[in-house]
A = this chain, B = another copy of it.
Amino acid sequence: MSKKISESTVRRLSLYLRSLREAVEGSAETISSEELADRGGTTAAQVRKDLSMFGSFGKRGMGYPTAELTRAIEEILGLHRRWRVAVIGAGKIGSALVAYRNFHSRGFEIVAVFDTDPAKVGAVWGGQRIQPDEALERVVSEREIDIAIIAVPGTAAQSVADRVVASGVRALLNFAPVRLRVPEDVALRNVDMVLELEQLTYALNSAEF
């Protein structure tokens, strides 16, 4: 165990975790690498390799104990604690994120929402009063935000990123269709819906040879 962990491995851990939670609910005591593979869309060998990077969780001949492995993966992914999230941009996407129930149930707490539009500031969404853009730096550091979700137009995204990073945030989830520059100790993930659609059109377009 304990080599360098690839991004794909981490992504698969999240998928295994989901299957494990279902298995725990279905009160299965153990689960095999093969079943985890099936549900996660990969192979049994891959599952074993991924897990072996972090330790030895299974029992030979038996499989993996579901409850224990669930806790182990939660620990690896940092899900043993709750995380404080700010949503920046109270447009349609921001609104959908604030209302998204899966965040809360998976340990993510939206504790601040921001917008530049004075008409929106002051409104209350899901218990959060929308705060003005000027309050960004102060509130982000006071409220100890762990993760900033950027849901502003592309033109504003880099500036928002710079400001939250300067205020101490080390993880960004960016919905704007632009490539953000961040210091290398800041984690960044992009959700880019047009890009996903373009992967689909590529597939459609090449399929009709």
Interface residue ranges, A against B (CB under 8 Å): 5, 7, 10-11, 13-15, 17-18, 39-41, 76-79, 83, 85, 91-93, 95-97, 99-100, 102-103, 106, 108, 146-147, 170-173, 177, 179, 185, 187, 189, 191, 193-207
Contacts and interface: CB of A to CB of B under 8 A. Distances in A.
Instruction: Give the copy number.
Output: 2
A202 B77 contact: yes
A108 B197 contact: yes
B207 A177 contact: no
A183 to B, nearest CB: 12
Contacts of A76: 202, 205
Dominant SS at the A interface? Answer: helix
B97 A95 contact: no
Contact of A78 (B91, B92, B204): B204
20 contacts: A10-B202, A11-B199, A14-B194, A15-B179, A77-B202, A77-B205, A78-B204, A83-B204, A93-B96, A93-B100, A102-B193, A103-B194, A170-B204, A171-B204, A173-B197, A187-B199, A187-B200, A187-B203, A189-B200, A191-B196
Contacts of A7: 199
A56 B146 CA distance: 46
A137 B105 CA distance: 33
A145 B21 CA distance: 35
A193 B102 CA distance: 9
Contacts of A83: 197, 201, 204
Given A95-B92, A193-B100, A187 B204 contact: yes
A193 B97 contact: yes
A196 to B, nearest CB: 5
Nearest to A9: B202
A172 B203 CA distance: 11
Contacts of A10: 198-199, 202
Contacts of A108: 194, 197
A203 B9 CA distance: 13
A140 to B, nearest CB: 15
